[in-house]
């Protein structure tokens, strides 16, 4: 527990967020994602398990500390719905609101086909698994720069 740090961000997650630099990716996923096996292939190999938290709440806390990359057209990716690539689910709309609010502007969230998403996730720095119950609640955030 620290002043100004949201309480759901434990020391393990805080360490990972701080270790990451510009361009590093963080996976934030639901309870069905193959989080442990994907995490094992990431740069740090770390799987942070945030029980009792969904992706919306976790993202709101993480993005209060973690800047999204403003150097690329798309700093947030999500898993696309299988057989319905254009579908935008409630879990995705909720995340859109969180990322827009965190950055203070309209952000693009790119849908990525399921198996391509797994491959992209393995290139990340670490994986954060929530107990998100809504399907397709799987996201990749690219870290940006702190200017001040």
Question: Known catalytic residue: 54?
Answer: no
Q: Which two tokens stand for residue 78?
A: 């999500």
| Segment near a copy of itself (CB under 8 A); pick from 10-18, 50-58, 73-81, 121-129 | 10-18
Q: Which of 1, 51, 73, 83 binds a copy of itself (CB under 8 A)?
A: 1
Q: How far are the Cα atoms of 43, 48, 72, 117 from residue 137, in angstroms, in the given order? A: 22, 16, 22, 12
Could you tell me the smallest distance in angstroms from the CB atom of residue 70 to a copy of itself? 13
Distance CA 106, CA 102 (A): 10
Verify binding: residue 116, a copy of itself, rule CB under 8 A. no
Question: Is 69 one of the catalytic residues?
Answer: yes
Q: Report the residue from 4, 73, 84, 104 that binds a copy of itself according to the rule CB under 8 A.
A: 4
- Asked if 7 interacts with a copy of itself (CB under 8 A), we say yes
Using the rule CB under 8 A, which residue among 2, 52, 86, 106 binds a copy of itself?
2
CB atoms within 10 A of CB 126: 23
> Smaller CB distance to a copy of itself: residue 9 or 109?
9
Determine contact, residues 29/35, Cβ cutoff 8 Å: yes
10 Å Cβ neighbour count for 139? 29
């Amino acid at each position: 527990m620290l002043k100004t740090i949201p309480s759901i961000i434990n020391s393990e997650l805080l360490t990972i967020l701080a270790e990451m630099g510009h361009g590093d990716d963080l996976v934030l996923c639901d309870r069905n994602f193959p989080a442990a096996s994907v995490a094992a292939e990431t740069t740090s190999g770390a799987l942070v398990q945030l029980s009792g938290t969904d992706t919306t709440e976790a993202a709101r806390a993480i993005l209060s500390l973690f800047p999204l990359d403003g150097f690329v057209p798309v700093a947030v990716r999500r898993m696309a719905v299988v057989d319905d690539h254009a579908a935008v689910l409630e879990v995705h709309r909720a995340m859109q609101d969180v990322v827009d609010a965190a950055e203070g502007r309209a952000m693009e969230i790119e849908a990525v086909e399921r198996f391509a998403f797994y491959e992209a996730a393995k290139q990340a720095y670490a994986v954060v698994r929530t107990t998100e119950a809504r399907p397709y609640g799987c996201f990749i955030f690219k870290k940006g720069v702190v200017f001040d």
